[in-house]
Amino acid sequence: MTNSTHKSKIRELYKTQRSALSPTQCRQAGLRILKHLQKLPTQHPLCLYSSIQNEVDLQDVRDWAIKMNREIYYPRLGSDKMDFFQLTSADHLVPGKWTKEPTGSRRLDKLTNAIVLVPGLAFSMDGHRLGFGKGYYDNFFLDFPNLIRLGIAYDFQICISSWAPEPHDQQMDYTLTPSSIWGGRGLLQHPII
């Protein structure tokens, strides 16, 4: 079996597990992720995501960030890549190709010191990520190599990696789950976020 076939099989397994969650469980997980985020320094802009298919729901993170006047950004898909645009009000998210996307025109600056919250289907204990299989975040981080990357996962999505990370796969700095923080690239690059 090729590595990409193997990755696809693992994706299906985790999609099935995640599909059993209720909206309340998705939101509760987001609230516990918010508790971790509230312990981080406040000067970093945050790149969030609009959840689909039972991903950890970050609506309470978004509402907290807006209330605290934090600069926040959401992804928007172009024809072949993903970029982040600023969001100033929850009303400014509208249905896009897959997720709700921001209507704003202020694009994330290359020099920003943002923290990016990265959804995924599974994460290894050292920050290797299985996404939806389109490589959008891998390619985004090639363009923005210095941003701090935080995988966002349910506890059951942390696993011993049985897939081989590929050269293009971008490692997370840390992965946050409701009950833990897992190290990755960040233990060397961002020992204190």
**Minimum distance from residue 108 beta carbon to ligand ADP (Å):** 19
HEC per residue, the chain: CCHHHHHHHHHHHHHHHHHCCCHHHHHHHHHHHHHHHCCCCCCCCEECCCCCCCCCCCHHHHHHHHHCCCCEEEEEECCCCEEEEEECCHHHEEECCCCEEECCCCECCCCCCCEEEEECCEEECCCCEECCCCCHHHHHHHHCCCCEEEEECCHHHEECCCCCCCCCCCCCCEEECCCCEEECCHHHHCCCC
9 binds ligand ADP (CB under 6 A): no
- Name which position in 106, 107, 110, 168 contacts ligand ADP (CB under 6 A): 168
Nearer to ligand ADP, 135 or 183 (CB): 135
Q: Residue 74 or 137: which CB sits closer to ligand ADP?
A: 137
Instruction: Give, in order, the Cα–Cα distances in Å from 24 to each of 21, 99, 182, 188.
Output: 8, 19, 24, 36
Q: Binding to Mg ion by residue 83, rule CB under 5 A?
A: no
Q: Determine, following the binding rule CB under 6 A, whether residue 139 of this chain makes contact with ligand ADP.
A: yes
Q: Residue 165, interface with ligand ADP (CB under 6 A)? A: no
Query: Exactly one of 64, 138, 161, 193 binds Mg ion (CB under 5 A); which one?
Result: 138
Interior angle at CA 109, CA 107 and CA 111, nearest 5: 175
Rank residues 16 and 105 by Cβ distance to ligand ADP and give the closer one.
16
Q: How far is the CB of 135 from Mg ion (least distance, A)?
A: 5
Residue 136 contacts Mg ion per CB under 5 A: no
Tell which one of 10, 88, 126, 132 touches ligand ADP (CB under 6 A).
132
CB of 158 to Mg ion, least distance (A): 17
Which spans of this chain sit near Mg ion (rule: CB under 5 A)? Answer: 138, 169
Which spans of this chain sit near ligand ADP (rule: CB under 6 A)? Answer: 4, 7, 130-135, 138-139, 142, 168-169
